[in-house]
Structure formats: C-alpha cells, structure tokens
Amino acid sequence: MTIHVGDRIPEVTLKRIREGIETLDTHALFDGRKVVLFAVPGAFTPTCSARHLPGYVESFDAFRKRGIDVYCMAVNDPFVMKAWATDQHVPDGLLMLSDGNAELTRALGLELDASASGMGIRSRRFALYVVDGTVRAAWIEEPGQFEVSSAKHVLEHLPT
C-alpha cells in the first residue's frame, strides 16, 4: 500500500557514509523536523544525475531558508551514494541516504521492479514533504516520468 498524506514515515534504518558507515533510524531523521525526502531510481543514472539531484543541489539554500532539510534516497549501497554525492557536488547538509535493501522503499509502497533492465527492485521517483514524521504532501511520479518530484515543482507547491 502506498504512503498517503497524513501517514507517519515507517520506522526502518538507512545507511550513509561520513567518517564511516552510519546507521540512521527514520524516526530520528524525521521527528521534530521539516524534511523533503526525494527518491531516485538509481545513483548515476541519466535523469537522476542530469536533472533530479542537480535541481535539489541548486535549490538547497531555498529549502534551508524555509527551515526544511533535504534528504536524497536511492536503493543503492552507501558507497555508491557517497561517490555520487562527490560527483554531483552535493552540499554539506543534503543527506544522501542509502536504502540498499529497499526496506523504506517497500514500507512506503513505492518500489519499482526494474528487473527487466537488470536493476532489480528500485524506488519509484518521488518527493515527500514530512513534518515531524508525518507526510504533509506527496509527489509521486509515474514510471519513466520526471515532473512533479523536481525541486522546482516541490518548492512551488509546498503546503503552508
């Protein structure tokens, strides 16, 4: 079942690399904060690298001025997410989260079976606006699309 506005973010753990591999609990990541979580089907893939992540990198300060944290998530391992962050010049503070086993992706009901392309289970492209652990807005793309989850669209449509 797909996550809806009004639902709480499920409790699972994600990974990221800073000084070493860190395990992060979703409740600790989202509770007491305003967050835009956007997800991509895969690091280093064409649309994700050319348009999706770069839009959030360019708009990062605009989100921060509104008191909103920004998290990027993909069903990739934390080493890939760290390398992608370096390649894309991701600013400090924009969290690059690894959902390597697709646990959060599945819990959100937003998985995409890309096995036909040799990519296995991935995340659908989406953005969620989460306040204190509860989804306040959701922009979920149809497969193969990139419109509503862009940084520009999300900034223009954030609820007040």
C-alpha to C-alpha distance for 32 and 9, rounded to whole angstroms: 13
Q: In sequence order, what are the residues at sequence separation of 6 or more whose Cβ sits closer than 8 angstroms to the Cβ of residue 113? A: 120, 121, 122
| Dihedral of alpha carbons 96, 67, 24, 10, sign | negative
Catalytic residue of the set 12, 37, 48, 128: 48
The DSSP output letter for 76 is S
Does the active-site annotation cover 72? no
Residues noted as catalytic: 48
